[in-house]
Amino acid sequence: MSAVEERLAALGLQVPDVAKPVAVYVPAVRSGNHIFTSGQLPMKSGELMLTGKVGGEVSEEEAYACARQCGLNAIAAVKAEIGDLDLVKRVVKVVVFVSSTADFTGQPKVANGVSELLGEAFGDAGVHARSAVGVPVLPLDSPVEVEILVEV
């Protein structure tokens, strides 16, 4: 077990199996020293945790938890590419899409769900640049989608 996985285990978390893509793509691609993940949905045990819009059917707190699950799924995609999460030198960039109502402006707080998870998992190497973007709809009516870029 990697040190990253041990830190997650101390939080009561584990790296899940890689989520099956919902269309024709792969969960992650390596290019040189970088791993680019595809957008990860808040899938848990093969099902979306929630559906709907943040600020509507989905609360900010629920969306934060969804972003955290997206982060775990992104970590799983990275692990599937490189085998050992301790090979991650740095989380470079995180992009968080939040399907939200027109008046919801808390996308950065939702995105903290994944950002805080990456900090807990990777320590200083988990500090990253980030975008948090409000969108009208996401695949499968997911409230959150996350992609990450890591250097190995």
Residue type at 36?
Answer: F
Neighbouring C-beta atoms of residue 91, cutoff 10 Å: 26
Kindly state the helix (H) or strand (E) to which residue 22 belongs, with its residue range.
none
CB 140 within 8 A of CB 51: yes
Query: Nearest CA to 150 among 119, 132, 125?
Result: 125
Predicted pLDDT of residue 58: 98
Task: Determine the Cα–Cα distance for residues 79 and 89; give it in Å rounded to an integer.
Answer: 13
Q: Is the pLDDT at 133 greater than 90, yes or no?
A: yes
Which CATH architecture is the domain 3-10+27-151 placed in? 2-Layer Sandwich (3.30)
Sign of CA dihedral 55, 97, 129, 71: positive
- The torsion angles phi and psi of 13, rounded to 5 degrees, stand at -115, 160
The two three-digit tokens of residue 152, written as one number? 């190995």
pLDDT digits (tens, 9 = 90+) for 93-131: 999 999 999 999 999 999 999 999 999 999 999 999 999
Q: The whole model's pTM is what?
A: 0.96
Scan for tokens 């490189």, then name that residue. 82
pLDDT digits (tens, 9 = 90+) for 34-51: 999 999 999 999 999 999
Kindly state the helix (H) or strand (E) to which residue 37 belongs, with its residue range.
strand 34-37
